[in-house]
């Protein structure tokens, strides 16, 4: 260990007092789980699944003892959870939240294959404030992240041994959401799409849980293998308003066509024209939002349409919209909408034309450099300290608004672009919305970074890229008196790492950690051993984990009064 090592001693006797109560409180590392979606193989709930697994584990261990077999490894694993609370290298301005501080929602889950065993894969955010994030699964199918933006998001699940899935997840700051998907016992789905007269609609595209098919001459569609759970279903056909909903598919069920019938209504079309040719080299973005009280807010796939790209001085047409009143929000670099919000009323079966206007606005210009030389294709971002609140303020909506629709971060919250061959970039300053902003740049190789705090009145900034220091910090977990090997499962910021079997008398190290303030939790057989321990990590730190006797020798590992 280096010279900066800190030894934090924690006493087992204090933790053992009231163990039953602590077990009850330890289910979520602090904070309640948001009731999103929990799907386990065969449609069995997570609590029932865990009881069944533990019961079988106990049976196997008992059989082993009856046969006189000497155990070589503790049966239950030590579970370690590490979360980065505050990175050492972070942009922080007085009076506002630090850079990235608004992303505190947590998502964890598992993917299970047809044989009910964990499978590798990835969970990709395709719509919403976290669009572009990818969470990788470990060998047991586990995935997770603790630094996500709150609100509704759409994720697509893929993997070599699974058919894939598309789900809607609700994330909340300082809360954990769970998404477990099992691909065993698929359901059979029959459905029908019709018009308001009850006649079949031929050739309608039906997307269900990421799978896609089209209706036949009778207006029917068919999925022979549909994964169970709250699946996302979208129905689209030219000339009709699209339809979306979440549908609960039960494992192994057969859904007949008379139970799954969708009636599409005639749709509306909208032609958007931007009169002024300000900054016409790149498109403007128009966000379509149902007016307050509109009934179409949740049964239409707005995430598939927003934002609409329109070049200044040109037009763009959107079809398949629901009739009703819409609000239009126009954004363009170096310009602002006049007025800030436009309103339009759409009629079924008709094309509505509207003209939007731009006026010049203050800009923030800059260059990205490396050793004084311009850098091309650097990813540059200008972000509000609180992206969630800025988005809500732009829409003029309360906090719960982001839980009823899937919306990306608005340009008032975050703008991004690539530096040109001269290293230059241009943003709308948006200082009237957020007087303090964070400006960052990442080199095209992903190994260099720069960041600046931008304050009111700034108009030009230079960003000098520097090499990103490697995550080289280490935490060593010390455990005294162990006689058997101990399985260890670790997650870092919600992402699971490879599980290991730790030989007797050896300590366990978690490496490749960033400098900063970390929160550490540890438990064994549902018993909390470390709870929300905060450490400032600079290079190497040691923590003593007070293992119970059963975790050292296996003597009474199967008996946990709190679980009984």
Q: How does pLDDT run across 208-227, given as a tens digit for each residue?
A: 999 999 999 999 999 999 99
Q: What is the mean pLDDT of residues 393-421?
A: 89
pLDDT exceeds cutoff 50 at 365: yes
Tens digit of each residue's pLDDT (9 = 90 or more) over 73-85: 899 999 999 999 9
For residue 379, which of 332, 419, 324 has the smallest C-alpha distance?
419
pLDDT, mean of residues 466-482: 93
* Residue 560 confidence (pLDDT): 43
What's the confidence (pLDDT) of residue 467? Answer: 94
Of the pLDDT bands very low, low, confident and very high (cuts 50, 70, 90), residue 52 is very low
Nearest to 218 by CA among 261, 267, 265: 261
Q: Distance between CA atoms of 139 and 502, rounded to whole angstroms?
A: 18
Query: Could you please report the per-residue DSSP string of 359-375?
Result: EE--EEEEEEEETTEE-
Q: What angle do CA 456, 461, 466 make, to 5 degrees?
A: 125
* pLDDT, position 294: 52
Overall average pLDDT of the 26-43 stretch: 39
- Work out the pLDDT band at 280, boundaries 50, 70, 90: low
pLDDT of residue 354: 97
pLDDT of residue 69: 55
Least confident interval from 18-32, 98-112, 377-391, 423-437: 18-32
Residue 95 has pLDDT above 70, yes or no: yes
Identify the top-confidence range among 11-15, 34-38, 49-53, 74-78. 74-78
Q: Is pLDDT above 60 for 167?
A: yes
Helix H or strand E segment including 388: helix 387-395
Q: Is the pLDDT of residue 43 over 60?
A: no
Q: Taking residues 420-442, what's their average pLDDT?
A: 94
What is the β-pairing status of strands 268-274 and 351-356? parallel
Collapsing DSSP states into helix, strand and coil, what is residue 46?
Answer: helix
Radius of gyration of the chain (CA): 27
Instruction: Indicate the burial class of 182 (C-beta count within 10 angstroms; 0-12, 13-18, 19 or more).
Output: buried
- Of 100-114, 280-294, 311-325, 399-413, where does mean pLDDT reach its minimum? 280-294
What burial letters (b/e) apply to 151-172, b meaning 16+ CB within 10 Å? bbbbbbbebeebbebbbbbbbb
pLDDT digits (tens, 9 = 90+) for 367-388: 999 999 999 999 999 999 999 8
pLDDT band at 26 (very low <50, low <70, confident <90, very high): very low
Label residue 282 by pLDDT band (50, 70, 90).
confident
Mean pLDDT value across residues 393-411: 86
- What local confidence, expressed as pLDDT, does residue 31 receive? 43
pLDDT, residue 8, reads 39
| pLDDT of 13 higher than 50 | no
Q: Does 564 have pLDDT greater than 50?
A: no
Among 408, 463, 419, residue whose Cα is nearest residue 438: 463
Tell whether the model's pLDDT for residue 292 goes beyond 50. Answer: yes
Local confidence band at 306 (pLDDT 50, 70, 90 cut-offs): very high
Residue range 329-334: mean pLDDT, rounded: 92
Query: pLDDT averaged over the chain?
Result: 86
Is residue 413 within 8 A of residue 387, CB to CB? The reply is: yes
- Cis amide prior to 307 (ω within 30 degrees): yes
Query: What percent of the chain is predicted at pLDDT more than 90?
Result: 71
Asked whether the beta carbons of 376 and 420 are under 8 A apart, the reply is yes
User: What pLDDT score was predicted for residue 404?
Assistant: 84
Check whether 45 has a pLDDT greater than 50.
no
Residue 540 forms beta bridges with which residues?
474
How are beta strands 508-513 and 379-383 bridged, if at all? Answer: unpaired
Lookup: tokens for 97: 């939240």
Least confident of 19-33, 266-280, 292-306, 370-384: 19-33
The pLDDT of residue 98: 92
Q: Which helix (H) or strand (E) holds 462?
A: strand 460-464
Among 74-83, 289-298, 340-349, the least confident range: 289-298
CB neighbours of residue 60 within 10 Å:
11
Query: Do residues 270 and 318 lie in contact, with contact meaning Cβ atoms separated by under 8 Å?
Result: yes
Least confident of 119-128, 460-469, 554-563: 554-563
The band of 398, judged by pLDDT with boundaries at 50, 70 and 90, is confident
> 14-18, 239-243, 525-529: which range is least confident on average?
14-18
pLDDT of residue 35: 38
pLDDT at 463: 97
What share of the chain in percent tops pLDDT 70?
85
The per-residue pLDDT for 3 is 41
Question: Which domains does the chain possess?
Answer: 7-83+470-553 (no CATH), 90-182 (2.60.40.1120), 187-263 (2.60.40.1120), 271-360 (2.60.40.1120), 363-467 (2.60.40.1120)
Residue 544 CB neighbours (<10 A): 18
pLDDT tens track for 171-186: 999 999 999 999 999 9
Q: Fill in the DSSP letter of residue 273.
A: E
274, two tokens:
């931007």
Cα-Cα end-to-end distance for the chain: 41
């Amino acid at each position: 260990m280096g010279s900066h090592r800190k030894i934090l001693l924690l006493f087992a006797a204090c933790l053992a007092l009231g163990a039953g109560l602590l077990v009850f409180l330890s289910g979520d590392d602090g904070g309640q789980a948001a009731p999103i979606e929990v799907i386990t193989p065969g449609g069995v709930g997570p609590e029932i699944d865990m009881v069944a697994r533990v019961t079988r584990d106990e049976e196997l261990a008992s059989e082993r003892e009856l046969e006189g077999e000497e155990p070589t490894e503790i049966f239950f694993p030590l579970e370690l959870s590490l979360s980065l609370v505050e990175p050492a290298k972070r942009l922080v301005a007085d009076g506002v939240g630090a850079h990235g501080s608004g992303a505190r929602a947590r998502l964890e889950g598992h993917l299970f294959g047809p044989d009910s065993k964990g499978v590798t894969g990835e969970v990709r955010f395709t719509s919403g404030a976290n669009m572009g994030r990818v969470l990788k699964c470990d060998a047991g199918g586990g995935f997770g992240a603790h630094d996500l933006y709150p609100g509704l998001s759409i994720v697509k699940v893929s993997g070599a041994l699974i058919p894939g899935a598309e789900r809607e997840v609700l994330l909340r700051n300082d809360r954990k959401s769970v998404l477990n998907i099992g691909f065993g016992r698929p359901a059979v789905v029959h459905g029908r799409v019709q018009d308001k007269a009850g006649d079949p609609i031929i050739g309608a595209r039906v997307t269900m849980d990421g799978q896609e098919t089209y209706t036949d001459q009778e207006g029917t569609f068919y999925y022979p293998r549909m994964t169970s759970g709250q699946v996302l279903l979208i129905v689209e056909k030219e000339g009709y308003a699209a339809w979306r909903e979440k549908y609960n598919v039960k494992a192994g069920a057969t859904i007949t066509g008379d139970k799954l019938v969708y009636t599409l209504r005639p749709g509306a079309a909208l032609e958007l024209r931007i009169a002024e040719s300000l900054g016409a080299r790149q498109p403007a973005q128009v966000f379509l939002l149902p007016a307050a009280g509109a009934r179409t807010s949740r049964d239409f796939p707005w995430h598939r349409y927003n934002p609409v790209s329109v070049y200044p001085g040109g037009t763009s047409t959107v079809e398949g919209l629901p009739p009703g009143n819409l609000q239009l929000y126009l954004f363009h670099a170096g310009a602002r909408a006049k007025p800030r919000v436009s309103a339009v009323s759409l009629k079924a079966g008709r094309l509505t034309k509207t003209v939007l206007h731009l006026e010049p606005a203050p800009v923030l210009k800059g260059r990205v450099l490396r050793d004084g030389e311009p850098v091309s294709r650097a990813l540059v971002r200008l972000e509000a300290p609180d992206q969630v609140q800025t988005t809500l303020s732009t829409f003029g909506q309360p906090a719960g608004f982001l839980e009823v629709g899937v919306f990306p971060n608005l340009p008032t919250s975050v703008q991004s672009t690539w530096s040109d061959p001269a290293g230059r970039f241009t943003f709308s300053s948006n200082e009237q919305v957020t007087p303090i902003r964070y400006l960052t740049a990442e080199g095209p190789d992903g190994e260099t970074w720069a960041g600046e705090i931008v304050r009111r009145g700034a108009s030009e900034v230079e960003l000098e890229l520097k090499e990103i220091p490697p995550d080289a910090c280490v935490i060593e977990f010390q455990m005294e008196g162990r006689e058997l090997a101990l399985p260890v499962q670790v997650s870092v910021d919600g992402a699971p790492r490879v599980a290991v079997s730790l030989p007797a008398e050896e300590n366990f190290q978690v490496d490749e950690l960033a400098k900063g303030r970390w929160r550490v939790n540890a438990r064994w057989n549902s018993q909390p051993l470390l709870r929300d321990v905060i450490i400032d990590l600079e290079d190497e730190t040691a923590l003593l984990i007070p293992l119970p006797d059963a975790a050292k020798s296996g003597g009474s590992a199967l008996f946990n009064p709190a679980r009984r």
